[in-house]
Structure 1
Amino acid sequence: MGGRTEHLPQDFADLLAEADLPTLQAVFDDCVPDARGGYAEQTALAFDACPDDLARWLVAQGADVDAPDRWGNTPLHTRARSGRSTIDVLLELGADVHADGATVGTPLHAAAASLHAENAALLLAHGADVDARNRDGLTPLELALRSCSNIDLERAAPFARLLLDAGATRTPAMSTFVEEIGQRFEEHREKIPADLAGPASAGLDALYRLFGVVPAARRARHDGVAPIVVTSTRWQDQHAELWDSLVPGSGAAATVQGEVVRISGRLAHELEGNGGANWDDDFRAMARAFADHVATGTPLPDADLAEVRTAVDDLVRTGSGATARLAELAVAWVLRNPDPRPLDAPGYRR
């Protein structure tokens, strides 16, 4: 290769957007055909803006159409996942639709991860295995459903139909993933912008029908005005009931009552469920705020307040404490203060 570099110029992406074919070809007077660039250390063939004529020329010059990047993604993986380019020319040049050295799996898995139906259809037309399993043991359709976020819901059912029509095997995991998608959507429904909520909800309903899944129950949200009531008798069930009605999908609650319940749940999840891996000053501030809140309105009895202060001191000092007891006392305080009280902006971000 006559001493040519194995590194693409730093402005190669800009050149792809601006330069004509002869100028791009001239880059490779100084670079080998498989020269790499960008954070992923990918070849020119993997760039979204690589022109088809340049791709054909590079392969003719000896470029490997299946050269992996630093994560094992071939150009076909990278561009199958992207919504900004097509994969026709790579398939024309013989790219391997079965390549599975990437973390995500095959190129069809890559397309599934972004619900890219057009690229998935092309891969299937070129013989991609619709039921191939990646390192996590997931088929492309299972990966698509596991990866599906609320903003993806409008595209999820058409993508699923495409793979099912291509012979994808239905698995119990698919129904489980759809159930989880529904629960996640209902948890955040009230915060989804109106122009997105309708199509997303319709897409979710289509997934329910496609996989025979019982729709997740809509959360009965409290209106912020009426007295707060619970129907359960055990404090654990009351806490869950209050969480569903008062705690938003993300961020602080609108009311002090909701925030008391939210803080107790977040503290327990972090320390008991996550081993305190993210324990920081924000969590400590939340614990202190909890102690302040339950001393307001109709406060907890003195003995309970003393217990709260001791538990919060332990949490702040050691990152461990009686989180279950705090959750029980959160319920007790809310029941003593049923009239909603607006929450001032908190001094923490979790």
Structure 2
Amino acid sequence: MAENSTESKEKPIHDGVSPIYIPEGDEEEAFQALWEYLIPPYGKAQTAQGEIIRIAGRVQHEFLDNGCINWDGDFQKMLDAFLGYLQLGNGFSRKDLESAEVLVRLLKENGEKGFIDGRLTTVLCSCAMAWVRQNPEVITPLEAEYRR
């Protein structure tokens, strides 16, 4: 019997120290590429850039794939942390941060009610991407107050 010579290509995982750059092209594909590059299979990311992508992706997944059935206080805390990340490094301007605060408030309210609006989670992911774009140098993640 011949052995299978097909080599599986493992996707590269971020080393925790190298600068992080967003791939060119479609924003959804770039977000997915960052997810695969920065997020471990289990647990939290080892960089602030990875954790903000992880938070946005987890919230989007809960809204679009789970219909907010698992929405709880941890998701609320994740969104609070999201706002904290936007203030680190080359953070958002005051005006952009105020817009992000409105976005987070709407997501929290909609999560509690189970009201699904994919536009809000798309904007959340775009905010995460914008922050990572502004902060290519690795930043240590915030102390997490959530378990998810």
Query: TM-score scaled to structure 1, two decimals?
Result: 0.38
| Gap change, CA 1:223 and 1:277, over 3 Å in 2 | same
**Is contact 1:247-1:262 (8 Å) kept?**
yes
1:348 corresponds in structure 2 to 146
**Structure 1: segments with no counterpart, 5+ residues:** 1-205
**1:216 positional shift:** 4.8
The aligned runs of 1:260-339 (5 Å cut-off) are: 260-319=52-111, 320=115, 322-339=120-137
| Percent identity over paired residues | 35
**Structure 2: segments with no counterpart, 5+ residues:** none
Comparing 334-343 with 232-241, greater Cα deviation is found at 232-241
Distance (Å, rounded) in 2 between the aligned partners of 1:294 and 1:237: 22
SS in 2 for 1:232: coil
Deviation string, structure 1 residues 36-74 (Cα, Å, up to 9, x no partner): xxxxxxxxxxxxxxxxxxxxxxxxxxxxxxxxxxxxxxx
**1:249 positional shift:** 0.6
**1:306 positional shift:** 2.1
Aligned AA (2:74): D
Distance (Å, rounded) in 2 between the aligned partners of 1:292 and 1:256: 10
Deviation string, structure 1 residues 319-343 (Cα, Å, up to 9, x no partner): 1551111101101100100111122
Distance (Å, rounded) in 2 between the aligned partners of 1:252 and 1:273: 20
Query: TM-score scaled to structure 2, two decimals?
Result: 0.85
| Gap change, CA 1:275 and 1:247, over 3 Å in 2 | same
**1:253 positional shift:** 0.5
Distance (Å, rounded) in 2 between the aligned partners of 1:326 and 1:287: 10
Aligned AA (2:126): E
The aligned runs of 1:184-333 (5 Å cut-off) are: 209=4, 216-319=8-111, 320=115, 322-333=120-131
| Gap change, CA 1:294 and 1:218, over 3 Å in 2 | same
**Is contact 1:267-1:323 (8 Å) kept?**
yes
Distance (Å, rounded) in 2 between the aligned partners of 1:215 and 1:314: 46
Aligned AA (2:53): V
Aligned AA (2:140): P
Structure number with higher relative contact order (C-alpha < 8 Å, ≥ 6 residues apart): 2
**Is contact 1:236-1:328 (8 Å) kept?**
no
Aligned AA (1:298): N
Count, aligned residues: 140
Distance (Å, rounded) in 2 between the aligned partners of 1:288 and 1:215: 42
Distance (Å, rounded) in 2 between the aligned partners of 1:309 and 1:225: 29
**1:346 positional shift:** 0.5
| Gap change, CA 1:279 and 1:222, over 3 Å in 2 | same
SS in 1 for 2:15: coil
**1:300 positional shift:** 2.0
Distance (Å, rounded) in 1 between the aligned partners of 2:91 and 2:8: 36
The aligned runs of 1:119-134 (5 Å cut-off) are: none
Aligned AA (2:17): V
Aligned AA (1:288): D
| Gap change, CA 1:348 and 1:334, over 3 Å in 2 | same
The aligned runs of 1:57-68 (5 Å cut-off) are: none
Distance (Å, rounded) in 2 between the aligned partners of 1:277 and 1:314: 17
Distance (Å, rounded) in 2 between the aligned partners of 1:323 and 1:254: 23
The aligned runs of 1:173-192 (5 Å cut-off) are: none
